[in-house]
Structure 1
Amino acid sequence: MSDNPNHRSIHIKTNPTGGGLGIIAALGFSLILINTFIPEVPLSKDLPYFLVCAIIISFLGVLDDIFEIRGIHKSIIIFFVAISAVILTGPVTSLPGFYSSINLPYLAGLIGSVLWIFVCINGINFMDGANGLMASFMFLATSSLTIIAFILGAVTTMIMGLTLCFSLLGLLPFNFGNNSKIFAGDTGSLLTGFIFSLSALLLVKETDNLDLLYVGPLLILPFLSDIFITMLGRVRLGGSFFSAHKSHLYQALIAQSISHTRVSLAYLVAGIFFSSLTIFCVIKEIRISMWILLISIVLAASVRYFIKRDIMLKHISKGL
């Protein structure tokens, strides 16, 4: 499996994309070891069904890496897998407000929960373009989620997060840096997005604390802000949501001859800030309403917008 350069690529040579197979193998092997040698670990009874969903997502990624499935077809499959996962975990039925919870109709909660998983899977897949970017950032975010799960005693969330952490850690030495040897490909990025987004919902279910809904989005806020502002820009210009493109901030930075390593490190620094903030809020039991989270997303998206605009203005001035 390999990624051949095309009009949207930021690489000039063919890159192997089989790293995701290693992520699948590491996840499966870790869970088998835990089930065999530590059977007393109180894992969720729904875990086997979650793993079936993960296998479907992984298989979709393998097929896409080999045959390049059309975006709309891939999104339909992801959508149905997301629905299945949400029905198993149970949809979010209320949101934390400033002073009290905001109750949601079942259908609204189902749609919102499905969209969270859908956006994470597709968004993290979009961000797997620069050497080490997706793997390093998601290793940090998943490590933070695992620490939070450990603090709160959410065992299944912690185990899923821990296995994903070690899987990404095994990929990083071969993926990070300007001379990357292999990419996670759709196989790895789709699976990473699914495991992370599902684990964030499981954290809420295991702790029975809807106030923790902010944890998942806040941990990956640098990614989410880039994804949302890029998609809004494409819709405004009449572009397709499903078609491949090179409009993300990291792609614009690399186009300005900033190295893959520096770009990945910049996202990592932003990730460290938001991971630290999230863990601090959990430890101090600081209640974050969805309004504050939305404001944070808008602010982060605004920073991304102005950085991208500055890059475009510099590019135009050089052309003149």
Structure 2
Amino acid sequence: MKAICWILAGFYLLFCCKAEEGLNFPTYDGKDRVIDLNEKNYKQALKKYDMLCLLFHEPVSSDKVSQKQFQMTEMVLELAAQVLEPRSIGFGMVDSKKDAKLAKKLGLLEEGSLYVFKDERLVEFDGELSADVLVEFLLDLLEDPVEIINSKLELQAFDQIDDEIKLIGYFKGEDSEHFKAFEEAAEHFQPYVKFFATFDKGVAKKLGLKMNEVDFYEPFMDEPVHIPDKPYSEEELVDFVREHRRATLRKLRPEDMFETWEDDMEGIHIVAFAEEDDPDGFEFLEILKQVARDNTDNPDLSIVWIDPDDFPLLITYWEKTFKIDLFRPQIGVVNVTDVSSTCPE
């Protein structure tokens, strides 16, 4: 008991000493870290950093609005670069006109997009361009593509993830060729799709997994889908995830909002607005989840759930555009190719 008291006292002293610094949010320090990438310096930049994040942008117009918008975007990158400097993550910009040859060589296709080079992979960032969202995305990408579940507590944490796609497999060990195929498949989707694995027989038993078997969990569903025909190759796992990636009910998240929004059903989205922390919103969301479970085999149904609390800067825009009140749950159909014709109800 005395030992526990001393440990707690040590923690107390540590936190007391650091209390004033504990909430010291970073501000731009004035040092330029974002590189203007060109054919002369891009190889050096790729070698220098473990990951390199590049903004592929159109030439900046001379008008004040365009100049100001570009400066704001540049400041987002500068702040992210400052925060992630100790992690060996570099940042750069590529002009689509001035550096067209370099862009083609690197595989940069869409102006205004952010691309990340990690090892020999190119990952496109499809989220909200803000420093906090971008930093979180890059830190997730820096981690191993597969998270290992070894205990009951870790399994409980795995069970709590219900609003995004996840996969989990049971393998003999890290040297297993089937685990390596699973790990290589995970790299195709990191960090957008979560891959987990266990080497523990007890954990596998609780999950109902047999050796070399993988389960696919659709968001908000009670039961997983057993991926058939084990063991699997990397290509088979990648194909399965791509085929089943569009969930019946999916949440719009800041880190992949554009990817979700662009994945429409022939130009149409069924969109539901509901605050999860609000009693009416929670009740409405539970009904949506049940509708999704009852219709999970319907390939023509996909509902996008938006929690307005996740996008405070868009609330006024959505209310004005869709002519709705987001202080209560809403659902309707959105034509993403012509926002003016949308009609949520």
- Give the TM-score normalised by structure 1: 0.28
The structure where strand makes up a greater share of residues is 2
Work out which of the two has the higher radius of gyration on C-alpha atoms and give 1 or 2: 2
Highest RCO, 1 vs 2 (Cα 8 Å, sep ≥ 6): 1
The structure where helix makes up a greater share of residues is 1
